Structure 1
Amino acid sequence: MYAIEVDNVTKIYGKGDTAVTAISQASFQVRPGELVAILGPSGSGKTTLLTAIGLINEPTHGRIIVDGVTVADDGWVPGLDLKRIRREKLGFIFQAHNLIPFLTALENVMVALEINKFPSGEAKGRAEQLLKSLNLGHRLGSYPMALSGGEAQRVAIARALANKPRVILADEPTAALDTENGKNVMALLKSLAVENHSAILVVTHDHRMVEGFDRIFEVRDGSIIRETCGAG
């Protein structure tokens, strides 16, 4: 089973003469354990595609299947609880870490678990385990303003992993980092894809950051123009 299936997905904004096609008939699949990039310049439609897969931006046409559940078929499938599916099956990593400034690193990860009704003690144990596995055991009690850019992004990754999602969606996760930290984060995502058997889909404009990816889809003007195999 694929973790992500995208079949002829199109997103059109507006109607008639003012209509703009942001995504045009995009089709691809991502397997569990794969690290896949959507690569393209600003305005190419890659983030629109990611947010459609993330159940945030409703596609106009086409089908999207996430972890075996058809969530879109020429629009959202009626009757589905998209918030629940998003909460249970998806993890999100953004360009900005979006950590809550008045919570510690540990508390920022615990929040994601407590929203899903984990008991406080269990949430704390799981959050500690995740942060330690990302070499942040010494930062459990640190607030976001005391963290480096790379550390803050690793806390955000821990938060995305908290509920053991089958699919992780990352939107320019290294854009705010220097080259070394950016490559470290991408290498971390690769190892997490394999270890957790999760499908990780990363949007980026930076060709330097896709070394070691399993596959790369290049996007231009809303269309996938090329698929290449990475060195992963």
Structure 2
Amino acid sequence: MYAVEVENLTKIYGTGETAVRALTDASFRVSPGELVAILGPSGSGKTTLLTSIGLVTEPTHGRVVIDGITVADEGWLPGLDLKRIRRERLGFIFQAHNLIPFLTALENVMVAMEINGVGRKEAKQRGLDLLGELGLAERAGHYPSHLSGGQSQRVAIARALANRPRVILADEPTAALDTENGSNVMALLKRLAVENHSAIMVVTHDHRMVHGFDRILDVSDGRIVGERRNGGTA
């Protein structure tokens, strides 16, 4: 089973003469364990594509399937609990790590699980395990203001992994980092994709980071204009 299936995905904002076509007929599939880049300049439709897959932006046309569940087919399917699907099957990483400033690193990871109904004891243990795996065991009790940019982004990654999502969506996760920290984050995402058998999709315009991806989707003017496997053309 594919983790993500997108068929003829189209998003149009507005109607009539003021309509803006942000995305047109995007189609692709992503397998579990695969790290895929969505590469293109600002305004090319990358974020609209990501938020449509993330059940945030409702597509105008086309079909979206997440972990075997059809969530959109010419719009959201009626009767689905999109919030629950988002909580249980999707993880999000943003350019601004969006950590809660008055919670420690551990508490920032735990809160994602507690919202999903996980008991505090279990959430704490998994949070400690995740932070340990990401090299942050000694920073678990620190607040975001006492973490470096790279450390904060790793906490955000731990939070995204907390509920064992099948799909992780990252929007410019390395944009605020220097080359070394950015490369470390991408290497970490690649390892986590394989180890957790999760599909990870990363929106980026940073050509420095694409060498570690399994596949690259080139986006321009709202269309997927190319698809490349690492080291060649698909």
Deviations 1:139-191 (A, max 9, x none): 01000000000000000000000000000000000011111100100000000
Rounded to whole Å, the distance in 2 between the matches of 1:82 and 1:44 is 26
Instruction: Report the CA distance between 1:126 and its aligned residue.
Output: 0.4
The aligned counterpart of 1:159 is: 159
Rounded to whole Å, the distance in 2 between the matches of 1:117 and 1:16 is 44
SS in 2 for 1:62: strand
The aligned counterpart of 1:121 is: 121
Report if the CA contact (8 A) 1:212-1:231 is conserved: no
Rounded to whole Å, the distance in 1 between the matches of 2:185 and 2:231 is 17
The aligned counterpart of 2:13 is: 13
Deviations 1:117-152 (A, max 9, x none): 111111100000000000001101000000000000
The aligned counterpart of 1:171 is: 171
TM-score (norm 1): 0.99
Instruction: Report the CA distance between 1:230 and its aligned residue.
Output: 1.1
Report if the CA contact (8 A) 1:128-1:140 is conserved: yes
Matched, 1:45 2:45: yes
Tell me the amino acid that sits aligned with residue 157 of structure 2: I
Give % identity.
75
Instruction: Report the CA distance between 1:28 and its aligned residue.
Output: 0.4
Rounded to whole Å, the distance in 2 between the matches of 1:48 and 1:123 is 32
Quickly say closer, same or farther: Cα 1:109–1:222, change in 2 above 3 A.
same
Matched, 1:134 2:134: yes
Matched, 1:101 2:97: no
Rounded to whole Å, the distance in 2 between the matches of 1:181 and 1:222 is 30
Rounded to whole Å, the distance in 1 between the matches of 2:73 and 2:26 is 14
Tell me the amino acid that sits aligned with residue 65 of structure 2: I
Instruction: Report the CA distance between 1:193 and its aligned residue.
Output: 0.1
User: Where in structure 2 are the equivalents of 1:1-232 lying within 5 Å?
Assistant: 1-231=1-231
Tell me the amino acid that sits aligned with residue 69 of structure 1: I
Q: Which runs of 4+ in 1 moved over 4 A?
A: none
User: RMSD of the TM alignment (CA)?
Assistant: 0.9
Rounded to whole Å, the distance in 1 between the matches of 2:80 and 2:103 is 33
Instruction: Report the CA distance between 1:47 and its aligned residue.
Output: 0.2
Rounded to whole Å, the distance in 2 between the matches of 1:223 and 1:205 is 15
Tell me the amino acid that sits aligned with residue 173 of structure 2: P
Deviations 1:98-123 (A, max 9, x none): 00001100000000011111111111
Deviations 1:15-38 (A, max 9, x none): 111111000000000000000000
Instruction: Report the CA distance between 1:231 and its aligned residue.
Output: 4.7
Tell me the amino acid that sits aligned with residue 82 of structure 1: L
SS in 1 for 2:212: coil
Instruction: Report the CA distance between 1:201 and its aligned residue.
Output: 0.3
SS in 1 for 2:62: strand
Rounded to whole Å, the distance in 2 between the matches of 1:95 and 1:120 is 28
Tell me the amino acid that sits aligned with residue 85 of structure 2: I
Report if the CA contact (8 A) 1:31-1:199 is conserved: yes
Rounded to whole Å, the distance in 2 between the matches of 1:147 and 1:212 is 26
Deviations 1:192-226 (A, max 9, x none): 00000000000000111111200000000000000
Deviations 1:65-85 (A, max 9, x none): 000000000000011000000
Runs of 5+ unmatched residues, structure 2: none
Runs of 5+ unmatched residues, structure 1: none
Rounded to whole Å, the distance in 2 between the matches of 1:128 and 1:220 is 41
